Structure formats: C-alpha cells, structure tokens
Amino acid sequence: MPGRFDTASRADSRLGLRLLAAAVIAPIELACAVAGDWWFTGLVLVVAAVAAWEWSALQTRGRFLPVLGVGCALAFPLSLALGILTLAPLALSIAISAGILLLPRSGDAESLTTGALAVVGSICVGCLLVPAIALRGADNGVAWLLTVILGTWACDTLAFAIGRRRGTHRLGLWMSPNKTIEGTISGILAAAVVGVLAGFVFPSVAVKLLGLGVVVGLSTVGGDLVESAVKRRLGVKDMGWIIPGHGGILDRIDGQLYSVLFGYLFVTLTP
C-alpha cells in the first residue's frame, strides 16, 4: 500500500531528524542541569526568550517587534534568578509600555488583540519555565530535574515512534487527530521507566522518582495536546523552524513546559 508506505517513510525521516536534534541539544541541556546555578538559569532564560520571540512573531505577523514578548517572558524567571521577585511587575510594566509604543498608530482592534495575545502568551511561557529554576534549587534538585528532562524526552520520542509505526487506535481528539492510544500509553510508560532507572542512581528518593516519572509522562502528553490545540486555532503546523524534526523551540518544549510545572508541584506537595 503506497500511501501507508509513504506515511511510514515520512515518520521515519522525521524521527531521524528528531533524534539528530536531540543528540545536539541533549548534552547542552543535561550539562547545564547538572552544573546548576547560572549555567542552568542562563539556559532557561535563553529558551524563554526564543520561545517568546516565536510566539510573539506568530501573533503579530511582523506588525511590531517581538521584543515585547521577550521582555514579558523574562520578567518572572529573571526576577527569581536574582532573588528579587518585586522586579517582575516592574519589568512587565516596562515591556508592556514599550509594546504599546510599538503598536501601529491606527490602534485598530485587531492590532490590540494580537498584541494582547503576544503579551499573555509570553508571560505564560516565562511563568511555566520558572518551576525549572525552582526545581533545580530544591533538595535533590539534580535527581528531580534530570528525571523530568529525560522522562519528557523519552515520552515524546516513544509516543511519536510507536504511534506512527504501530498505532492503530486513534485517541479521537480534535486538536491532534493523528495521536493514538498505543503511542500515548508507550510515552507514559517510557517516562515511568525513566523514573525507575533514576531511582537506581538516587536510591534515597527512589519511590518518589517513580511517581515523578508517571507525572512527567501524563503532563508531557497533556502539554503536547495543549500546543496542538493552539496550533490548530492559529492554523499553523509549527511554531518556528530552528530545530529540525520539531519546528521551533516551542514545538520542542511544549511537553516540558507542563512536565516541569507538574513535576515541581508533585515534588513539593508530596512527602
């Protein structure tokens, strides 16, 4: 069946690009996570800036500079990194004021709407990345953060690979009609396995790492579905283009935004 063969070939090609991109990105992310301090904080800030730029550029279509989005996204993580949370409202005020000055003079309703979407989305990106910095700074922070990072990768990769090659039962969700039950379950199990393996490396928190792995799997799938819904609403396939096999930074970290958030909540709210 040529159609099925072509689909499988495209899936293999995209999976290969994903693995190649991961081979380049993974060592950098893991090294910064282990090093901690400003190495990891710096990485988070760079990711937040690029993701906010992508989001703002997508919303405004070049009608005013995405610098507005970058400023809004960096307000909270940078304030947390500096230990001065009161800086966040000030930074947001400056960024939003600058954005208003960059709006077209006509000030039509559509421009105001897209500007508001750029601001709100960028703030969300920044806020969702804040738990990554907090998680690294917690007790056993390296164990938690590595489990979240590796679990997200494992879930994303296995869900994509198994879903495209072996998936036959669709989830039936409008935001992502190609997602399958087989792929989704495989991704969640892969993240859980990462939690189990992490427990052998950090035995003092082994049980909690297993639970964290499951939480990471579920939240990664949820984050991917949220971004799929957003992309369908916007009528785009990818949020950006800089990462082969993924699209943009937002396409790469969609699951991680939520796995970091819910992972942090799990770690801090459970004994």
pLDDT tens for 33-69 read: 999 888 999 999 999 998 888 888 887 665 556 777 7
Q: Is the pLDDT of residue 87 over 50?
A: yes
The chain-wide mean pLDDT, for the chain, equals 82
Q: Measured between alpha carbons, how far is 136 from 83 in angstroms, rounded to an integer?
A: 15
Q: Is the pLDDT of residue 4 over 50?
A: no
Q: pLDDT value at position 9?
A: 57
Retrieve residue 52's tokens: 């906010």
Higher model confidence: residue 61 or residue 242? 242
Q: What is the pLDDT of residues 143-175, one digit of tens each?
A: 999 999 999 999 988 988 888 887 677 877 777
pLDDT digits (tens, 9 = 90+) for 109-141: 666 677 777 788 888 888 889 999 999 999 999
Phi then psi dihedrals of residue 180, to 5 deg: -115, 160
CA distance 47 to 253: 9
Rounded distance, CA 53 to CA 4, Å?
37
Render pLDDT for 170-215 as a digit per residue (tens, 0 to 9): 877 777 777 888 989 999 999 999 999 999 999 999 999 999 999 9
pLDDT at 1 (0 to 100): 40
What residues contact residue 126 under an 8 Å CB cut-off, 6+ apart? 48, 52, 72, 73, 74, 75, 76, 77
Separation between Cα atoms, residue 133 and residue 81, nearest integer Å? 8
